[in-house]
């Protein structure tokens, strides 16, 4: 249950962040996805992962791209699920994008 509480806190923190804090919001969504994978809520983890890509793709951040790759690795045990497989492909693609000019 601690992981579910952590997800709730991450979501609350993300909701309070200003619009200009996109990198922090991406980190929040990545952390939520990780926690949701741990507790076995695969659908919610994929939703959080897609949100992370949506938010994180708007910033030029090597740290965000590395965390996309980390999340893709952590999702690997669940890749038999089509939504996880699609998320992993999107994360790996977003994690290898060249920095924006």
What is the rounded distance in angstroms from the CA atom of residue 64 to the CA atom of residue 43?
Answer: 22
**Token pair 């996880």 in the structure block, residue:** 84
Provide the whole-model pTM. 0.83
One-letter-per-residue 3-state SS of the chain: CHHHHHHHHHHHHHHHCCCCCHHHHHHHHHHHHHHHHHHCCHHHHHHHHHHHHHHHCCCCCHHHHHHHHHHHHHHHHHCCCHHHHHHHHHHHHHHHCCCCC
Tens place of pLDDT per residue across the chain (101 aa): 566 777 777 777 767 777 778 899 999 999 999 999 998 999 999 999 999 999 999 899 999 999 999 999 999 999 999 999 999 999 999 978 555 44
């Amino acid at each position: 249950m601690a992981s579910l509480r952590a997800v709730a806190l991450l979501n609350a923190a993300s909701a309070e962040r200003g619009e200009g804090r996109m990198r922090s919001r991406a980190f929040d969504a990545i952390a939520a996805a990780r926690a949701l994978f741990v507790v076995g809520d695969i659908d919610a983890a994929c939703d959080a992962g897609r949100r992370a890509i949506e938010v994180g793709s708007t910033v030029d951040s090597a740290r965000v791209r590395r965390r996309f790759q980390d999340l893709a690795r952590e999702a690997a045990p669940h890749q038999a699920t089509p939504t996880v497989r699609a998320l992993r492909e999107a994360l790996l693609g977003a994690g290898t994008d060249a920095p924006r000019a």
